[in-house]
Amino acid sequence: MDFPEYTGRELAEHIKAITGTSVNDTGALLRFFKHSRISKKQIIQQADRECTTLFFVVRGCLRMYFVDSKGVERTTQFALENWWLTDFLAFERKQRTEFAIQAVEPAEVLSIDHNAYQSLLAAFSQMERYFRIIYQYGYGAALLRMKYQQDFSREELYRHFARQFPDFVQRVPQYLLASYLDITPEYLSELRKKRS
């Protein structure tokens, strides 16, 4: 590789920001992870395969999607820098997942497999706290998103999303954003024009 060795700075900083406590030994922490660079559109988790890996986004953007009964790809979740992504249920149970995970942009990720994850949690008690907070937010945000999906018109949903994540709306390809909001790319394009 032409790249310098990954220092773990982003992960260590995120752990400190979330838990309020510095990581004592970032090197030791990092040994539980594999660091890799992935290209745009590369699939790092196949659907219908066992889900044994949890991903942390150092740089770039991932998405988790499924192919619906009509053969259309539907994006359920995005992950930008400092976000964690996997099918958390299948990962915990080491089961087959119904989702695939793909890079939306060229990305740099840390990945940890199920067994290393258990060892990490045993070795660094701080990480239980870290993931407890991460998942508590993720769970809460998912419940709130269900409310918005039921309650908001598609236009309101887009406006809300654009207000909350303005950079994200600029950054993600429009056909993927449309799939996430469950609208057609044409309708999304109309909504964007209306705003300007």
Q: Which residues bind its own copies (CB under 8 A)?
A: 64, 66, 68-69, 74, 76-77, 87-92, 98-99, 121, 125, 128-129, 131-133, 135-147, 149-151, 182
Six-digit token string for 31: 């040994």
Q: How far is the CB of 66 from its own copies (least distance, A)?
A: 5
Q: How far is the CB of 89 from its own copies (least distance, A)?
A: 3
CA neighbor of 82 nearest in space, from 112, 61, 103: 61
- Give the residue with the Cβ less far from its own copies, 39 or 136: 136
Handedness of CA 192, 193, 194, 196 (dihedral sign): positive
- Give the residue with the Cβ less far from its own copies, 6 or 131: 131
Q: How far is the CB of 12 from its own copies (least distance, A)?
A: 19
* Rounded-to-integer distance, Cα 21 and Cα 192, Å: 42
- Give the residue with the Cβ less far from its own copies, 145 or 171: 145
Q: How far is the CB of 4 from its own copies (least distance, A)?
A: 33
Q: CA-CA distances (angstroms) from residue 46 to 34, 100, 115?
A: 18, 5, 19
Please classify residue 57 by burial: count the beta carbons closer than 10 Å to its beta carbon, then call 0-12 exposed, 13-18 middle and 19+ buried: buried
- Give the residue with the Cβ less far from its own copies, 11 or 90: 90
R_g (Cα) of the chain, nearest Å: 18
